[in-house]
Chain A
């Protein structure tokens, strides 16, 4: 396909030389991973929005989900799509960039500029592939903490994120309670369930069953396991929606035809939609990264690090929590969020919790759900008052730091209504 020929070099160049800010950590500054390996050198690609105040008290860390990246509120350098969380972050949004200094890092193991399996292994001069050490959610958070150290930010006003981003939020609150004033874990869980591990395993097996995967050495062999990764994405995408949302969107409608063709062509709209989701995903994501980051989620079990008692992870914490779930989310159902809330209650923590009624499934956290913004906006605003942060200032676009100059135009573009399907497609 011509688009692939055009976009692949662009995607690959993002792996080592991202078109965002990047912090490089040399041999003197290794990252100790849970698997025992000391990763060095490594780099963290990140994006910032807004301005850090003089007290360095208004920093907000946004943690992204499985396949998203640091480009949360600007045009994506590979796909050209608008940022994946412009509903939540931006001027006048719940995370108001006229008020807060927002940081978003590409997670460890991913493929948009932070070190991962697609990065070049300095010892061999070849992509890491499966030689890359296994990373965990805690490792991702450790890497983020190292970046904050470098930026001179001791404490974060807020850490927030949905899905895998929410796992990082919980890990942040457990690992660095003194650095987190308030935490907003959305549509997430303190552990990955058997069902979720099962879905991930299906995805990984699809990738590895693709003959073009070449035991992870596809980059050197000039192949790409697009079929396998596409199937993995198709299966995963179903879990991000709800039965009701699928029915509302597609029903049994046929795709550009009057009658079934009695073939395995994409007769149904839902088939066509999923194939599109799979195909567009492989244009922007690395197959090995998909294996690593899904594995990191599987390994996540916060309570396990605290003798099996989740409440101990939050004992003595003064962080203010607001936990959010969605009624139709069957990937991270409300019961998962309630378990976190109960643990926080048992630990005597300051916790609010809301279950938002929507039929949009797990994806709801990325979509235009007014109740989500009412809850998070209210929570953030009250916490900011408690922290002594002033109201939003009117900042000219030119003062937005960390963004290349052309980003001001993107802001105008962002004001246009976006197709929700494409927006959600890149957010997790």
Chain B
């Protein structure tokens, strides 16, 4: 990843996973951000990449914040609303840190690849070594800095590891064009490392997919 183009200040003030996603988007493209939250990524994309962006967000507060920023965001749900979008409506459909909170991740991914020519998915890696050790030694569901809710409170109902996700991409017949794993500090894990290495040291992963 060409992170060098971003100044240190920018990196400090913006979530690295969002920047990583932004790096994957071609300037001037049409983008749908599924689960866009307060619109941080859409704003970043329209500033840096001049995209024509749209969003879907579950929470009313999130939608209001987005609308007040001048973003085009509809209140809705990845599980129920993607079905209404026509084929090839967007260049990219992005699912940022939301996959694990959907009811049907496989169906959502299939819709993303139908609606968009490319799909970008970022998710927390449940195979990260800290999570493994947490489960192995404490015998309890892991609660970490980034995944900080107890199992009975968390909206994250479908965790997966990087290897699980790679298997899912094969299942839905998607091609991985690019993949980045970020370590605890938000730095990319060595590019030439094998999947098993990423699966242990990547705290989160960002995948750029296209139909196979």
Q: Give chain A's interface residues, CB within 8 Å of chain B.
A: 320, 322-323, 338, 341-342, 345-346, 348, 350-357, 371, 374-375, 377-379, 381-383, 385-386
Contact, CB under 8 Å: B69 / A354: no
**Is the C-beta of B129 less than 8 angstroms from some C-beta in chain A?**
no
Contact, CB under 8 Å: B67 / A375: yes
Contact, CB under 8 Å: A357 / B70: no
Q: Tell me the complex Cα distance, A341–B63, Å.
A: 14
Contact, CB under 8 Å: A352 / B72: yes
Q: Tell me the complex Cα distance, A352–B64, Å.
A: 9
Q: Tell me the complex Cα distance, A12–B89, Å.
A: 54
Q: Interface size bucket, B side?
A: 20 to 34
Query: Looking at the complex, which of B14-22, B73-81, B142-150, B164-172 is the stretch in contact with chain A?
Result: B73-81
Contacts A371-B64, A379-B67, A382-B67 given; indicate if A353 touches B74 (C-beta within 8 A): yes
Contact, CB under 8 Å: A348 / B60: no
Contact, CB under 8 Å: A345 / B67: no
- B65-115 residues at the A interface, CB under 8 angstroms: 65-76, 84-86, 89
Contact, CB under 8 Å: B68 / A381: yes
Contact, CB under 8 Å: B63 / A354: yes
Q: Tell me the complex Cα distance, A374–B54, Å.
A: 20
Contact, CB under 8 Å: B68 / A354: no
Q: Which residues of B are found within 8 Å of A350, using beta-carbon distances?
A: 54, 72
Query: What is the CB-to-nearest-CB distance from B193 to chain A, in angstroms, rounded to a whole number?
Result: 40
Contacts A345-B84, A346-B85 given; indicate if A375 touches B72 (C-beta within 8 A): no
Contact, CB under 8 Å: A378 / B74: no
Q: Tell me the complex Cα distance, A423–B64, Å.
A: 26
Q: Tell me the complex Cα distance, A125–B60, Å.
A: 55
Q: Tell me the complex Cα distance, A357–B75, Å.
A: 12
Q: What DSSP secondary structure best describes chain B's contact surface?
A: mixed
Q: Tell me the complex Cα distance, A143–B85, Å.
A: 35
Query: What is the CB-to-nearest-CB distance from A386 to chain B, in angstroms, rounded to a whole number?
Result: 6
Contact, CB under 8 Å: A354 / B70: no
- Using CB atoms, name the residue of chain B closest to A381: B68
Contacts A354-B67, A382-B67 given; indicate if A345 touches B60 (C-beta within 8 A): no
Contact, CB under 8 Å: A341 / B85: no
Other-chain contact of A345, B63, B70, B85 (Cβ < 8 Å): B85
Contact, CB under 8 Å: B68 / A379: yes
Contact, CB under 8 Å: A345 / B69: no
Q: Which residues of B are found within 8 Å of A354, using beta-carbon distances?
A: 60, 63-64, 67, 74-75
Count: A-B pairs, CB below 8 Å: 70
Query: Which 8 residue pairs spanning A and B have beta carbons closest together?
Result: A378-B68, A382-B70, A353-B74, A342-B84, A350-B72, A378-B67, A352-B67, A354-B75
Contact, CB under 8 Å: A322 / B75: no
Most buried by B among A345, A348, A371, A378: A345
Q: Give chain B's interface residues, CB within 8 Å of chain A.
A: 54, 60, 63-76, 84-86, 89
Q: Tell me the complex Cα distance, A354–B66, Å.
A: 11
Contacts A375-B67, A381-B68, A382-B67 given; indicate if A355 touches B84 (C-beta within 8 A): no
Q: Tell me the complex Cα distance, A345–B76, Å.
A: 13
Query: What is the CB-to-nearest-CB distance from B71 to chain A, in angstroms, rounded to a whole number?
Result: 8
Q: Which residues of B are found within 8 Å of A341, using beta-carbon distances?
A: 74
Q: Which residues of A are found within 8 Å of B63, using beta-carbon distances?
A: 352-354, 375
Contacts A352-B67, A382-B68 given; indicate if A371 touches B73 (C-beta within 8 A): no
Q: Which residues of A are found within 8 Å of B66, using beta-carbon distances?
A: 352
Q: Which residues of A are found within 8 Å of B75, using beta-carbon distances?
A: 353-355
Contacts A345-B89, A346-B85, A371-B60 given; indicate if A351 touches B72 (C-beta within 8 A): yes
- Using CB atoms, name the residue of chain A closest to B90: A348
Enumerate 12 A-B pairs (CB-CB under 8 Å) in ascending A order.
Answer: A341-B74, A345-B84, A346-B85, A348-B89, A352-B72, A354-B63, A356-B60, A375-B63, A375-B64, A375-B67, A379-B67, A382-B71
Q: Which residues of B are found within 8 Å of A352, using beta-carbon distances?
A: 63, 66-67, 71-74
- Using CB atoms, name the residue of chain B closest to A334: B75
Q: Which residues of B are found within 8 Å of A377, using beta-carbon distances?
A: 68
Q: Tell me the complex Cα distance, A378–B63, Å.
A: 10
Query: What is the CB-to-nearest-CB distance from B48 to chain A, in angstroms, rounded to a whole number?
Result: 19
Q: Tell me the complex Cα distance, A354–B62, Å.
A: 10
- Using CB atoms, name the residue of chain B closest to A384: B70
Contact, CB under 8 Å: A320 / B72: yes
Query: What is the CB-to-nearest-CB distance from A358 to chain B, in angstroms, rounded to a whole number?
Result: 11
Q: Tell me the complex Cα distance, A117–B68, Å.
A: 43
Q: Which residues of A are found within 8 Å of B71, using beta-carbon distances?
A: 352, 382
Contact, CB under 8 Å: B76 / A353: yes
